[in-house]
Amino acid sequence: MGSTNRLSKLVPAIILVAMLTLTGCGALNNFYTAADRAQQRVEEMWETVAAANTPVVVNEETVDVVQETPEPDTDTGLSMPLDAGLVIGALENVLGDIYQFVSPSVVFIETSRGGAGGSGSGFVWDNEGHIVTNAHVIEGAQRIRITFSDGTRANATLVGANRDSDLAVIRVDLPADRLMPVTMGDSNLVTVGELAVAIGNPFGLESTMTVGFISGLGRSLPVDPGMLGGPTYSIPDVIQTDAPINPGNSGGVLVNGQGQVVGVTTAIASPVRASAGVGFVVPSAIVERVVPQLISEGRFAVPWLGVSGATLVPEIAEAMDLPADQRGVLVIGVLQGSPAEEAGLRGSERQANIDGLPARVGGDVIVAIGDQPVRSFEDLSAYLFRSTEVGEEVTIALLRNGERTEIEVTMQQRPGQEEPAQAVELRPGDPAMRPVWMGILGTTLVPAVAQAMELPAEQGGALLVQVVPDSPAGRVGLRAGMTPVMIEGERFLIGGDVIIGWDDAPVTDMDDLLELLDQAEPDQEVTLTLLRDGDRIEVGLTLEARPRP
């Protein structure tokens, strides 16, 4: 009897695996074949056992066969229990078919950058030789070489890149019949719990497949600009998966159970640069919006509203005499010259004490944009990126002093976006080639960030957002920002030191600091003038030669 009970517990689990594995496979004929073959084998096994009316061994345990024929399960479409080995075999067949179908479209990318090399992944977009990858995979590359799954090698040229989405398009010159474009899926239809298969080149191991599930949706992913770069932008609507993703997977594909690409594997959350079960994927909805424009124009114009804000929480809502359950985005700051300023949006004009901490309150609360409700800052960022165009007029519904009103905003292009892609060459002034090292990641202090740090909006300087331990900056105690703030989809870490002077020279932005670094020598001693918590201080620092990677 114990054996029968254990079997009864095993069968639902097997059926669940079968459902997760075999449903939704109709897009590929060979998937139908695998599923039908497994089902036929199960039916034949069950008919043979039932006709004999004898005990059967399952997982090394003897189980009495029930004489009655089981009624079909109307929920699953399965008319009998399944043998674990057969289901595992069916799963293996389906995953094998996915790999055979998708892997010829996935390529291995090798780059060279002034004596240094890198690698990543990409996938064939069309028969014209266009290949999609992550922007960070090919950034700064002097040479790009592609290897296909069949061993074919070709040099590639850069067509266009967009750091805000971390997407890029490169192109190879090969006959159309040598190229196998992917089949794109709809990331809007993805749900948590679905099968997820990643194919790429982790650690340079070509054509590697890993398997997992969709583990989260609607994430925001900061795009790291690299040491001494600009602000980190956040990609909206990012998919999270537990399919193992490692360095080298960047630019590869995440596909569903039908072999359709639902996103581009882009980043991992891990303290050791290896898979910790949390991977992030740029959704196919963004890919299909950005890539065609990169191909046609070499760039993607990201729409810009020009506000800093935060998701409205109950404590802030109550401080503004709004219902505690009111949802929306509180506008904290409005950037000068932005579409938001031109349309008359208002930022927070006063502070309140929330749990002993100061908080900005009193600004407009955005509750809808276009025809979509806005419940969080992520909702606003996603709509702006995915559903608006530069020059388009958008209706924003907001609460102002508790009263609902609507305003019209004409979207503009985000300032400072890259020009159409050109040939990339490393110069002595580029970060990767600088011989002198401080050990910081910084960004120009912009008005909205300055105001968030309770500094004058016109305050300039280089805001530190990361300090490398045991670097020249780390050893003298320079401080990086620790508080994240979202400003129009850009993620800033605020609260760090702001460099405003280098010896007798003023530092008004990151360009000033980089120019001074270019002119410096290893072992040179400099005096930095900083703003720390609003106070002006001076710190001595000895520069060093950049360590070898």
Higher pLDDT, 123 or 485: 123
User: pLDDT at position 491, please?
Assistant: 57
- The answer to the question of residue 337 being in a domain is yes
92 assigned to some structural domain: no
Residue 452 within a domain: yes
pLDDT number for residue 64: 47
CB 138 within 8 A of CB 149: no
279 and 399 share a domain?
no
Of the listed 83, 97, 136, 237, which one is catalytic? 136
DSSP structural state of residue 476: T
**SS (HEC) of 388-430:** CCCCCEEEEEEEECCEEEEEEEECEECCCCCCCCCCCCCCCCC
The single residue of 83, 97, 164, 166 carrying the catalytic annotation is 166
Average pLDDT over residues 526-530: 94
130 catalytic? Reply is no
In 23-152, which residue ranges form alpha helices assigned H by DSSP?
A: 29-52, 84-102, 135-138
Nearest to 311 by CA among 335, 327, 333, 323: 327
- CB count within 10 Å of CB 99 equals 20
pLDDT band at 537 (very low <50, low <70, confident <90, very high): very high
Query: Looking at the 3D structure of the chain, how many domains does it have?
Result: 4
CATH of the domain at 447: 2.30.42.10
Quick check: is 99 in a domain? no
Q: Residue 171, CB half-sphere, CA atoms under 13 Å: how many?
A: 19
Q: Tell me which long-range contacts 272-275 makes (C-beta under 8 A, separation of at least 24).
A: 273/246, 273/247, 274/246, 274/247, 275/244, 275/245, 275/246
Q: What is the mean pLDDT of the chain?
A: 77
Residue 147: what pLDDT?
A: 93
Boundary (domain end) residue, out of 379, 394, 427:
427
Strands 440-444 and 490-494: unpaired
Question: How many other C-beta atoms lie within 10 A of the C-beta of residue 386?
Answer: 16
Domain for residue 422, yes or no? yes
Same domain membership, residue 270 and residue 220? yes
Query: Residue 206 has what DSSP assignment?
Result: S
**Tokens for 511?**
């360009």
In a shared domain, residues 421 and 444? no
Domain identity same for 113 and 226:
yes
Residues 335 and 400 in one domain: yes
CA 250 to CA 394: how far, in whole Å?
34
Same domain, 172 and 260: yes
Assess whether 192 and 307 both reside in one domain.
no
Integer angstrom CA distances of residue 261 from 54, 241, 284: 47, 14, 7
Query: Do 255 and 320 share a structural domain?
Result: no
Question: Within this chain, do residues 74 and 59 fall inside the same structural domain, yes or no?
Answer: yes
pLDDT of residue 247: 83
Quick one: what percent of the chain has pLDDT higher than 90?
31
Domain boundary among 82, 115, 132: 82
CATH number at residue 133: 2.40.10.120
> Could you tell me if residue 93 is inside a domain?
no
* pLDDT tens, residue by residue, 57-70: 444 444 444 444 44
Mean pLDDT confidence for 346-363: 79
The total of other beta-carbon atoms located within 10 Å of residue 192's CB is 12
Same domain assignment for residues 322 and 448: no
Distance between CA atoms of 243 and 237, rounded to whole angstroms? 18
Query: Residue written as tokens 């977009």?
Result: 125
Per-residue pLDDT at 431 exceeds 50: no
In a domain, 49, yes or no: yes
Q: Cα 237 vs. chain centroid, distance in angstroms? A: 8
Q: pLDDT confidence of 427, banded at 50, 70, 90?
A: very low
Residues 388 and 533 in one domain: no
Q: Is residue 334 included in any domain, yes or no?
A: yes
Q: Picking from 11-25, 362-376, 494-508, which range would have the lowest pLDDT averaged per residue?
A: 11-25
User: What average pLDDT does range 126-132 have in this prediction?
Assistant: 95
Q: Encoding tokens for residue 79?
A: 């008319």
Q: At 238, is the secondary structure helix, strand, or coil?
A: strand
Each residue's pLDDT tens digit, 221-279: 766 543 333 344 578 888 999 888 888 889 999 999 888 999 999 877 655 555 667 88
Q: Does the pLDDT at position 189 exceed 80?
A: yes
Which of 427, 451, 477 is the endpoint of a domain?
427
Q: Are residues 23 and 63 in the same domain?
A: yes
**Given 250, 338, 348, 381, the catalytic residue:** 250
Q: What is the mean pLDDT of residues 414-443?
A: 54
Q: pLDDT tens for residues 138-186? A: 888 888 999 999 999 999 999 999 888 889 999 999 999 899 999 999 9
What range does the domain containing 463 cover? Answer: 434-545
Tokens representing 159 are 């067509």
